[in-house]
Amino acid sequence: MERRYLILEMLKKSKTPVKGKDLAEYFDVSRQIIVSDIAQLREEGHKIVSTRDGYVYDAGNKVRKVVAVKHSAKDIYDELKRIVENGGKVLDVIVEHPLYGEITGRIDVSTLDEVEKFVSLLMSSGTKPLSEISNGIHLHTIEAPDEESMARILKALKKYRLNKEEDVNNE
């Protein structure tokens, strides 16, 4: 079907997520048709990710690592900021729950603006971050364009952790 491949090309070329609503308006079809088209593209093996901001094509040529961190809820902004400022994207947060096992929540932030929106939504919603389930201990899946960027991100996180430990020891 022609529309599906036009959607695929739009997603591949877009630098930002594309909302399903916008695709539906562009192609003059319902949102459900777009959801069906995306599902069929995925079945064909195309890596299309749904984020809260829309659909994103995942070219798959990035470096990914899962990193363990520990901090309080008030440090979420600083942690995410360090990652995106060094060229990374935070895909998710993973915590271990004593009853349910591993719980994963999508974050999908790669810019400072997205970090600010995420933290603002967290604060305004009145909910607690998943990391509170595990006393601040959690994992993040981080994506970077290359190994050099990933090394910069890991160095920034290590430096941040060491500075936090120093602050605690000086109290």
| Full set of structural domains in the chain with CATH | 2-57 (1.10.10.10), 63-169 (3.30.1340.20)
List the pLDDT tens digit at each of the 171 positions of the chain.
Answer: 699 999 999 999 988 889 999 999 999 999 999 999 999 999 998 989 888 789 989 877 789 999 998 888 889 999 999 999 999 999 999 999 889 999 999 899 999 999 999 999 999 998 889 888 888 899 999 999 889 999 999 999 988 887 766 555 555
Are 141 and 91 contacting, i.e. CB atoms less than 8 angstroms apart?
A: yes
- Looking at residue 49, its pLDDT comes to 86
Place of tokens 């996180």: 157
Sign of CA dihedral 111, 113, 118, 119: positive
The token pair that represents 115 in the structure block: 């970090």
Q: Is the pTM of this model over 0.85?
A: no
Cα(171)–Cα(164) distance, integer angstroms: 11
pLDDT of amino acid 170: 55
Alpha helices for 14-146 (secondary structure H):
20-27, 31-43, 76-85, 112-125
Q: How far apart are the first and last CA of the chain?
A: 64
Q: How many CB atoms lie within 10 A of CB 73?
A: 14
pLDDT of residue 171: 55
